[in-house]
Amino acid sequence: MKVIILFAVLVLFVGLGCVQPIVQEPEIKCNDSEAGADIHEFGYVTYNGLTYNDSCQGDSKVVEYYCRGDELQSEVQDCPFGYICSEGACITVPCEDTDEGNDIYEKGTVTKGEEEYTDYCIDNSVVEYYCANNEINSIVSGCPDDYSCSDGACVLTVCEDTEDGRDVSVAGTVTKDNKSYTDYCFDSEQVVEYYCKDDGEVASTYISCSSGYVCSGGVCTASTGCIDSDLGQEKYTKGTISKGTTSYEDYCFDGDTVKEYYCSGGEIYWNYLDCLSGYGCSNGRCVYTGLECDDTDDGQDRYEKGTVTGDGDTYTDYCLDDDTVREYYCSGDEVSYKSLGCPSGYECSDGKCISAICSDSDGNDVYIYGHVTKGASTYNDYCLDSTNVREYWCDGNDVESTTYECPGGYVCSSGKCVVGCTDTDGGTNEFVYGTVFHGDFGFSDICVDTETVKEYYCVDAFTYSHMPIGCGFGYACSAGVCIPQCEDTDEMDHKTVGTTKKGTIERTDVCVDMNTVREYYCHGNEIYSMEIDCVDDTTFCDAGQCIFGIPG
């Protein structure tokens, strides 16, 4: 009995809405943040409570997770040409320029992926590499007046001096050919003064300070009574300091430390200065204690620039003129040098003899980025624009260049013709028959059926694709192009208002009067018209069609 009562009460509660049935939402097992497999966008998939992130496999492949129905799927896809994988997505390889644009006054280097190009000189012009639309471009720019091209940049060739003449009271700086020369103290009594000669060349002279003045910081200043022969805390030079009748000499505190005397505010001070590794203190200064003589190019090697170190001093090979190297070498423990001439076919550049014979790395091949070298000069192939490449080559021992147009299906990029995309009809134009060239392959527009053309086009300079395009009313597809085709919507029915169209020509049925309709129709592939009488008194013409009724 109690069971029956309890059951009745439960039925009553449900009937009154006191108890609601529990409805469970269906669990979504797989959810993709990208709503599909998009390799150009980083995404993630949640599946059964776990998260799977798109990731890179090397720098050219992406592991893409996606949902197929409620199931987790993944696949490895190659990034297309011109893209790299970064943080789980295929992104365009970035183009970077160290001089931040087309700056002829600063030598820069442009990089994109593994490609690298550095600005260089051709005669008095700069071949300037820069980034445009994330692609490497180049342009040849002439240096303006008073400038010349040197080491990939336009530099001032006019001699300029920050001071007016040879003024020992001012530490001036002379600038020419991108090099600067600042006045300095030869000793406590003499200034090395730089100035511009009348012929525009840089010159220097020694000028002694007047009585009561000493040299400090490249200028003659009034003596404070304290004079230091090595001009400060210079541990590689033994100096003597004096003030009045008091004088001190720098000396070795121990085998590795100099007690260095110097002037500050007209008073005598001293400091302990440690010698660097490889040096020791001897006779009041730090001296080199390694090998007595060391030569980086191991002797008299005119084909390698070397540096000789001896007794703390260094001597680096340099060019005396275009044909001669000043070659430093070790003779026992002593530093010696000779003037070595470069052999036939060589010239001196940056302290060594280099080949002056013209050499071409790519053999005049427009499909390879190459360079021609002759002596110290290098000429890199470069793009004049998106379709033309300037190719350098050797004519005997002379450097020559020729402009070549990249063939169809190729574009100029980074100084060479690469597989690209060109379209003869200029894009998605269904009314013009076109062919897309991609490298050595061509793809021509074709008809899918009588109403649709399969149109090939370039997505960008390197990629092609295709899409179906309907020809539309008044057109039909023939031989890969939409051409005018006569079509009539009412098929010559005078009881229905119709439109007849062929290409851009369009005609609509009209009433001539209340009893006559002008009916347009197709005959063959041309538009014709005829006048048709409405049959009896029960019909009349209205809005281009014969209709039943009485005009009212």
Q: What is the pLDDT of residue 435?
A: 93
Q: Say if residue 477 is in the same domain as residue 491.
A: no
Q: Say if residue 278 is in the same domain as residue 258.
A: yes
Distance CA 500, CA 492 (A): 9
Over 426-468, what HEC string results? CCCCCCCCCEEEECCEEEECEEEECCEEEEEEECCCCCEEEEE
**Cβ pair 24, 36 in contact under 8 A:** no
- The residue with tokens 């008809």 is 447
Q: Say if residue 162 is in the same domain as residue 280.
A: yes
Q: Say how far residue 434 (Cα) sits from the centre of its chain.
A: 33
Closest CA to 235 of 312, 316, 335: 312
Distance CA 412, CA 404 (A): 10
Q: Say if residue 499 is in the same domain as residue 533.
A: yes
Dmax over CA atoms of the chain, in Å, equals 144
**Cβ pair 193, 186 in contact under 8 A:** no
Q: Say if residue 243 is in the same domain as residue 179.
A: yes
Closest CA to 510 of 544, 473, 535: 544
Contacts of 201 (CB under 8 A, 6+ apart): 159, 176
φ and ψ at residue 144, rounded to 5 degrees: -70, 175
pTM comes to 0.38
Distance CA 136, CA 152 (A): 17
Distance CA 416, CA 513 (A): 72
* 383 inside domain: no
Domain boundary among 311, 326, 355: 355
Can you give the pLDDT of all 552 residues of the chain as single tens digits?
444 444 444 444 444 444 444 444 455 688 888 766 688 889 898 988 889 899 998 888 999 898 877 888 888 888 877 788 988 888 888 888 998 888 888 899 998 877 888 998 887 888 888 888 777 888 888 888 878 888 888 888 778 888 877 888 888 898 887 678 888 888 878 888 898 887 778 888 889 888 778 888 888 887 777 888 888 888 888 999 888 788 899 999 999 999 999 988 888 899 999 998 778 899 999 887 765 688 888 888 998 999 988 766 788 999 988 888 999 998 877 788 888 888 888 888 889 998 888 888 888 899 999 888 887 788 899 999 888 999 999 998 888 999 999 998 899 988 999 988 889 998 899 999 999 998 888 899 999 899 999 999 988 888 888 899 999 998 999 999 999 999 999 989 988 999 999 999 999 999 999 889 999 999 988 999 999 988 777 788 999 999 988 776
Q: Say if residue 244 is in the same domain as residue 326.
A: no
**Cβ pair 215, 224 in contact under 8 A:** no
Q: Which two tokens stand for residue 349?
A: 């550049």
- The conformational region for residue 105 under phi > 0 = left, psi -120 to 50 = alpha, else beta, is alpha
Is 178 in a helix, a strand, or coil?
coil
Sign of the C-alpha dihedral computed for residues 332, 336, 341 and 342 taken in this order: positive
- Domain residue limits at 167: 156-286
Q: Say if residue 211 is in the same domain as residue 257.
A: yes
Distance CA 481, CA 452 (A): 9
Domain boundary among 53, 68, 92: 92
* 60 inside domain: yes
Task: Give me the half-sphere count of Cα atoms (radius 13 Å) on the Cβ side of residue 122.
Answer: 21
Q: What is the pLDDT of residue 552?
A: 64
* 210 inside domain: yes
Q: Say if residue 170 is in the same domain as residue 264.
A: yes
Q: Say if residue 306 is in the same domain as residue 226.
A: no
Domain boundary among 459, 484, 509: 484
DSSP label at 496? S
What is the DSSP secondary-structure string of 396-433? Answer: TTEEEEEEEEPPTTEEEETTEEEE-EEETT-SS-TTS-
Q: What is the pLDDT of residue 311?
A: 66
Q: Say if residue 173 is in the same domain as residue 240.
A: yes
Q: Which helix (H) or strand (E) holds 91?
A: strand 89-92
Q: Say if residue 177 is in the same domain as residue 277.
A: yes
Q: Say if residue 281 is in the same domain as residue 301.
A: no
Look at the chain and report how many structural domains it folds into: 5
* 135 inside domain: no
Over 210-260, what HEC string results? CCCEEEECCEEEECCCEEECCCCCCCCCCCEEEECCEEEECEEEECCEEEE
